[in-house]
Amino acid sequence: MKESMDQKLNHEFKPSLTDNVLLLKEILSNCDDIVFREFVFHEKINEIKGICIYTEGLVNTLEVNEILDLLIYRGKELLATVPSVNLDINLADKVKSEILSKHNIKLLTKVEFAIEGVLSGDSIFILDCTDKVFLASTRGWNERSIEDPATEQVVRGPRDGFNESLRTNTALVRRRIRDPLFKIEAMKVGKKSKTDINIAYLDGTVKEGLVEEVKKRLNHIEIDGIIDSGYIEELIMDAPYSPFTTVLSTERPDKVASSILEGRVAVFVDNSPFVLIVPTYFWQFLQASDDYYTKYMSGTFFRIVRYIAFVISLTLSSIYVMLVSFHQEMIPTALALTIASGREVVPFPVLIEALLMEFSFELMREAGLRMPKPVGQAVSIVGSLIIGQAAVQAGVVSPFMVIIVAVTGISSFAIPNYAGSFSIRLIRFPLLIASGTLGLLGFATMFSLLAIHALTIRSFGEPYLAPATPFVPSDQKDSLVRMPWWKMERQPQLAEGVEDRVGENQRPSPPRAGGTSANSSDQDNSSNN
Amino acid sequence: MYPKFLLLACIFSFMMTGCVGKVEIDDLALVMAVGLDKGENGAIKVTTQIVRPADARGQTGAPAGQTGDPIWSATAEGDTIFEAIRNLATFSSRRVFWAHNYAIVINEDLAREGIADIIDFFSRNQQLRMRTWVLVTPDSASEVVSTLTGLEVIPGEAVDKLFRYTTISAKSPSTQMLDLQSAYLSDTSQPVLARVQLIKRGVSNKKPGQAGAYEQVDLAGAGVFRKDKLVGILKPEEVRGLLPFIEHVESGVVVLSCPGDAEKKMSIEIKNQSFHVEPSIRDGTPAFATSLVVYGSVVEAGCPFTLSDKKDVKKIEKEMEEKLKEEIELVVKKAQEEYKSDFLELGKVFQNRYPSESREIGNWEDVFPSTLVEVNANVTINDSSILYKPTKSGG
Amino acid sequence: MKVQITNGMFMALLINMVYAKAIGLTQGSMAREVGNDIWISTIFSTFQGILMIYLLVLIIRRLPNHDVFQHSEILAGKIFGKMVCLLVFIFFLGAFGTIMATFVYHIKDFFLPDAPILLVVVVPFILGVYAIHYGIEVIARMALVGVFSILSLNLLILLGSLSELDIRELLPVFEFGVGRTIWASRHHNTDWAMAFMMAAIILPIVKQQEKWGRAGVAGIVYGGLFIVLWPILEVGVLSAEVTAQYIVSCMQMARSAEIGYFIHRYEMIMIAFFAISILTQVMMTFLCASISIQRLFSLKDYRPVIIPVCLVLTGYSYWFVFDHQRAIKIIETYWVALSMGIAIGLLLLLYILGFIFKKKVKANNKKHPSFR
């Protein structure tokens, strides 16, 4: 009877090389990218043969060759020192510690792990006469170099972005937090994909129970494969029916590092340049990394600009529709005449006009995104010409509507996080329809409904709208405004630790007549520490 | 269950209601000014100045363009204002919309009969705003409303701007619905309204010889009310005496004769005017002492005049004081003797200071004509604009 | 875990609970009685409010883990407890009528004159049911948003009306005598009564018992400050006569507000802020009424009774707001008597009962030692 795959994987390795090879070849049948390379470990004494298995393309062939060289040439030396021909179980340990000490080797006994290792880019070396197998970490495939994060650009700040390799990504963060308390725990998710997932956090700063909660949710996932971190995001988020995103995804290592320092947990997923950060506050979607790297005044200013952009992109089109179709008395007279004269020839009600324009705007955005790059520009030119110019001249839409939609669109692009801007774009439509059908009543009610909905959401136990409501006075230093670093003495409320974030008397000042300068006082502080 | 139920409820309610009271802005007839005249047989005639947006604002690219007048004036009659307005709807293709109304023009004949229902109607209707200008006119209100002005595209807007900047001319008070209503409701004060007139002022560009070729709306004093009835008018030159009482006036121009030569004139611009009314009780009756403190600036002198000549300055100051005092006294006299109407808000000043006494003296209307009003003026001329030496021919 | 709210949220709830009607309808009612002394009446009423909230905190502190219903049950038996539940429900039924009158007369009369009243009544119903399903914490957080919008609203009206403000108008103080001015403050006291009754129900779930008094008083003082701005502006800008003339006089002032020459006609922004505050008040009233019914039938949770209770309240409010004249008359006469009777009567009764049955209180405190 044929064994099932699971049973085969459950086997342990046997001392006989041929048995093992047979089993492995059976398991990896029809896998043309798996390479079996035979070698002789020691031909003179006992004809110890060996075999090396790896997946082509996933390994660093140089490293494999090096290990093979070591096994073949140093094997003789090793066995020469062994007096008896009695090859016992110790052989594997000896080889590992004496010959292959240069390399990262694990000894395995189970077939399952060996297969997994081979398929994830490690190589295994099997020697005759021993039931242990060497798993060498020889991963080395072609990966995208570290580039500018395409979705989150900054003017001032680091330019490196995550790529598709898990290790590279964790390394990028580790380079920013060189503390033993910075922990990276590994796990695997996905029955078929067996995707590597790393959970990173700062021990002692992260809130109690948070890491456990993240692990619990990750362990609960049962899925065949994880292709991108988006899968994980959707499977662990708190409010699955909500348009709001409760998990922040970012391409920027600096953002991940600073989040971890604030006591959040980052989830790295292999093959995805997007790292997930939990718990997330809504306002984080409106905060860009630039805010922290430029001077605090400009940081605050840009942040407020972005908050205004958020309000505009959420409400402007609804307010316009509401004003023009219900509350005409609210428009200043001169403006009312201008709007009315523009609408004179438009055949649609304002709501339909607005929906039409919003739709064509989304269409243009989507088309520009999907088209191959050289064609994409043509699309946007044609689109803007048709929508901006021709539609107005033909009297299909009013010029003022075009302005409204354009301003709304530009504002939504000012929101630094793509997922965030998308959820705001989504909740704009119910608001638009409500204010187009019920006027102010609809607008106020739908706005309150959305507000209540957002208030009920929690992201991994944290209120989604914190620190605005519930109001956390100490966190206001980094919410609407960005206070200078020397002012942000305490950790945010989210963080567990009692340590201060910034030392005392950090405000720099020019040297006074007495001769004490900012630098000297800093040194005093550090020496005290 | 709850979220789903609520979602359903929301969708249902939106579907059911559809578009409640929804009128697009281009389906509205935006009224820019309204005129009220006496109609036939005791009816009231309402004239509306309705804007035609496409012509008022030439829209680039829009097919409708400058093909006609920026406004369309229409008139309708009815026994009440509301009925008249409803009658407008019988021929207006768009819904008449009042919220952008700039001005309410009331014909003086109508105002003499009483404006109580006008005040009520325009303060009861939620579309109308309290910042609307209210004016009286001796001409037909419908003519005033349908007169195109030279500078502004929409005549209503022109009236609005006229009042925004009346402070320069000081020929009319600027009275809003808010002032009218609170004066009318008040126990003591009486309303006073701005007055306009159609006067041939415009000079035709095509035939420059004919000065005063077409009529323009002109500020022409103020209409004085007792209760809701118009009882008299103040001429434009009398209004300057009225303004300090009801508005915060800071500037104005006084024309005086030169100190040396009575034939020649000079103009003094009033700057930093401050006005104060001090109520008191003398022998059981209310009395008021008004004091006007004015700083003047010489803006035009028909004769050589310099501030360094202290004697001349004193003389001019004295003359100006007399003149200002006269103006105020004239208005007070008119209010007390001719119209017996306290549109100067003196009663309010007294009541605010002496609340219990004001109840004791009885009906303010009866007391007001006999109250004593003292007028003081203090003028200092301290500025000669940008000139230092007098302008006189050399040699 | 027991749901708890902070003292800050409690303050925010107090402010929201009193604000909307106080600036909307109350000023007109008071102006009809005392003319331009309405601002003094408002201040008087605020002082009375401070006294009452302090009394309330004293009462609830005796048995800090029990709300007003459980208090009365422990003190004077089950039947008395049920009666209190019914009375409180009636109170909130009446209160909801006045709140909806404020809401409907603002929204419908000034913004959507063609909308059917039913619609304007049903929409808050949907919102309220949705919100109180999530419990007090969400409403409390909404109240923080409400306080923010109240602040913005006050700022906007202040900017828009300051240029027209005539301080002289405020001047004849006590024109109708001190007694009458104090007596007129009863209209505003009904607004505070809503805040007390709410506090009597939710105070036990407020954290940090020792801060209750301070939070309560601070809430009333802030609320009073936010409100007293309105009568002062109304008298100074509109004059008392005009204020008395209108049903919703604050709207009349908002409509005449202008910042400079160009920025006017912005009352809709103000009303949008106002709506957030009053919708919070609607939610809280729904919640309090539901809790009183829950206690009346001794249910474990108030969620099953939400829809029936809210339907009753909404139905009543529909009848109530249908006739402007009747609504204002009820608000100015019967409602004053009812709300003052229930709120003050109940508090005094409980206070006195607490002295009579001191032993019961002690015994109960021993049985359930305060776990805070």
Write the DSSP string, A129-140: T-S-EEEE--B-
Contact (CB<8Å) A452/C120: no
The bridge status of strand B103-107 relative to strand B133-137 is parallel
- Does the beta carbon of A333 lie under 8 angstroms from any beta carbon of chain B? yes
pLDDT score, position C258: 79
* Average pLDDT, integer, range B255-268: 81
Residue in C126, C168, C242 nearest the CB of B6 = C126
> pLDDT category, A525, cuts 50, 70, 90?
very low
Structure-token pair, residue A268: 């790295």
Q: Going edge to edge, which strands form the sheet with A133-136?
A: A34-42, A48-55, A123-127, A133-136, A105-108
Say if residue C154 is exposed, middle or buried (CB neighbours under 10 Å; 0-12, 13-18, 19+).
Answer: buried
> pLDDT category, C227, cuts 50, 70, 90?
very high
- Dist. CA A361–CA A409, nearest whole Å: 8
> pLDDT category, A89, cuts 50, 70, 90?
low
- Does the beta carbon of A350 lie under 8 angstroms from any beta carbon of chain B? yes
- Does the beta carbon of A443 lie under 8 angstroms from any beta carbon of chain B? no
Contact (CB<8Å) A344/B59: yes
Contact (CB<8Å) B348/C168: yes
Contact (CB<8Å) A331/C265: yes
* Average pLDDT, integer, range C164-190: 81
User: Would you state the torsion angle of the CA atoms of residues C153, C159, C163, C165, taken in this order, to the nearest 10 degrees?
Assistant: 40
Other CB atoms within 10 Å distance of the CB of residue B261: 11
Predicted confidence (pLDDT) per residue in C3-31, tens digit? 788 888 899 999 999 998 888 888 888 88
Q: Which residues contact A527 (CB under 8 A, 6 or more apart)?
A: none
**Which among C6, C130, C141 is the top mutation candidate for probing chain A, defined by the most A β-carbons within 10 Å of its own β-carbon?**
C141
Using beta carbons and an 8 Å cutoff, which residues of B are at the interface with A? Answer: 3, 10, 14, 17-26, 28, 30, 32, 51, 53-54, 56-64, 97, 99-100, 102, 127, 129, 154, 157
**Which among B27, B163, B352, B358 is the top mutation candidate for probing chain C, defined by the most C β-carbons within 10 Å of its own β-carbon?**
B352
Contacts of B2 in chain C (CB under 8 A): 129-130, 133
Residue in B30, B54, B97 nearest the CB of A344 = B54
Predicted confidence (pLDDT) per residue in C348-360, tens digit? 888 888 888 777 7
In angstroms, the separation between the Cα of residue C156 and the nearest Cα of chain A is: 15
Contact (CB<8Å) C123/A441: yes
pLDDT score, position B1: 45
Are A121 and A139 spatial neighbours (Cβ–Cβ below 8 Å)?
A: yes
* Average pLDDT, integer, range B168-191: 83
Compare all CA atoms of chain B with the CA of C36 and give the residue at the minimum distance: B352
ipTM: 0.87
Predicted confidence (pLDDT) per residue in C273-287, tens digit? 899 899 999 999 999
pLDDT score, position A255: 92
User: Would you state the torsion angle of the CA atoms of residues A360, A364, A370, A375, taken in this order, to the nearest 10 degrees?
Assistant: 140
pLDDT score, position B123: 83
Q: Is B62's pLDDT higher than 60?
A: no
Residue in B13, B181, B355 nearest the CB of C172 = B355
- Dist. CA B381–CA B321, nearest whole Å: 11
Contacts of B72 in chain A (CB under 8 A): none
**Which among C111, C142, C148, C151 is the top mutation candidate for probing chain A, defined by the most A β-carbons within 10 Å of its own β-carbon?**
C111
Compare all CA atoms of chain B with the CA of C177 and give the residue at the minimum distance: B356
Compare all CA atoms of chain C with the CA of B99 and give the residue at the minimum distance: C265
Among A427-431, B184-188, C148-152, the least confident range? B184-188
pLDDT score, position B6: 56
Residue in B17, B53, B127 nearest the CB of A437 = B17
pLDDT score, position A58: 87
Portion 222-281 of C in contact with B at CB < 8 A:
238-239, 241-242, 245, 252, 255-256, 258, 261, 264-265
Residue in A340, A342, A345 nearest the CB of B30 = A340
Residue in C115, C242, C265 nearest the CB of B181 = C242
pLDDT score, position B19: 54
Contacts of C113 in chain B (CB under 8 A): 21, 126
pLDDT score, position C37: 86
Residue in B30, B32, B62 nearest the CB of A345 = B62
* Average pLDDT, integer, range A136-145: 85
Q: With helix as H, strand as E and coil as C, how does B314-331 read?
A: HHHHHHHHHHHHHHHHHH
Predicted confidence (pLDDT) per residue in B147-163, tens digit? 877 777 888 888 888 88
Are A401 and A353 spatial neighbours (Cβ–Cβ below 8 Å)?
A: yes
pLDDT score, position C317: 93
Strand partners, A185: A199
Alpha helices in chain B (DSSP H): 2-17, 53-56, 81-88, 108-113, 116-124, 141-145, 155-164, 177-185, 236-246, 310-333, 346-353, 355-360, 364-367
pLDDT score, position C101: 92
pLDDT score, position C117: 86
> pLDDT category, B63, cuts 50, 70, 90?
very low
Contact (CB<8Å) A440/C115: no
- Dist. CA C116–CA C226, nearest whole Å: 32
Measured CA to CA in angstroms, residue A348 lies from A343, B60, B61 at distances of: 9, 19, 18
Q: Is B61's pLDDT higher than 50?
A: no
Mean pLDDT, chain B, integer: 81
**Which among B10, B102, B122, B130 is the top mutation candidate for probing chain C, defined by the most C β-carbons within 10 Å of its own β-carbon?**
B130
Can you list the positions of beta strands (E) in B204-329?
A: 214-226, 229-234, 252-257, 265-282, 285-301
Selected residue with higher pLDDT from A170 and B200: A170
> pLDDT category, C93, cuts 50, 70, 90?
very high
In angstroms, the separation between the Cα of residue A347 and the nearest Cα of chain B is: 10
Contacts of B32 in chain A (CB under 8 A): 333
Task: Return the partners of chain A (3 or more C-beta pairs < 8 Å).
Answer: B, C
Handedness of CA C109, C22, C68, C220 (dihedral sign): positive
> pLDDT category, A254, cuts 50, 70, 90?
very high
Q: Is C228's pLDDT higher than 70?
A: yes
Strand partners, B279: B288
Measured CA to CA in angstroms, residue B320 lies from B261, B269, B293, B297, B375 at distances of: 16, 11, 12, 12, 14
Can you list the positions of beta strands (E) in A270-391?
A: 275-278
- Does the beta carbon of A243 lie under 8 angstroms from any beta carbon of chain B? no
Contacts of C124 in chain A (CB under 8 A): 445
Portion 478-517 of A in contact with C at CB < 8 A:
none
Q: Is C312's pLDDT higher than 90?
A: yes
Residue in A326, A329, A338 nearest the CB of B57 = A338
Contacts of B164 in chain C (CB under 8 A): 261
- Dist. CA A128–CA A14, nearest whole Å: 9
> pLDDT category, A257, cuts 50, 70, 90?
very high
Predicted confidence (pLDDT) per residue in A18-58, tens digit? 888 888 888 888 888 888 888 887 666 566 788 899 998 88
> pLDDT category, A521, cuts 50, 70, 90?
very low
pLDDT score, position C371: 43
Compare all CA atoms of chain A with the CA of C276 and give the residue at the minimum distance: A448
**Which among A441, A447, A474 is the top mutation candidate for probing chain C, defined by the most C β-carbons within 10 Å of its own β-carbon?**
A441
pLDDT score, position B206: 65
Q: Is B293's pLDDT higher than 70?
A: yes
* Average pLDDT, integer, range A445-467: 88
* Average pLDDT, integer, range B38-55: 85
* Average pLDDT, integer, range B52-56: 80
Residue in B2, B21, B186 nearest the CB of C239 = B186
> pLDDT category, B207, cuts 50, 70, 90?
low
pLDDT score, position B5: 57
Compare all CA atoms of chain C with the CA of B131 and give the residue at the minimum distance: C256
Contacts of C265 in chain A (CB under 8 A): 329-332
Residue in A241, A340, A449 nearest the CB of B26 = A340
- Dist. CA B245–CA B234, nearest whole Å: 14
Contact (CB<8Å) A440/C119: no
Mean pLDDT, chain A, integer: 84
* Average pLDDT, integer, range B360-386: 83
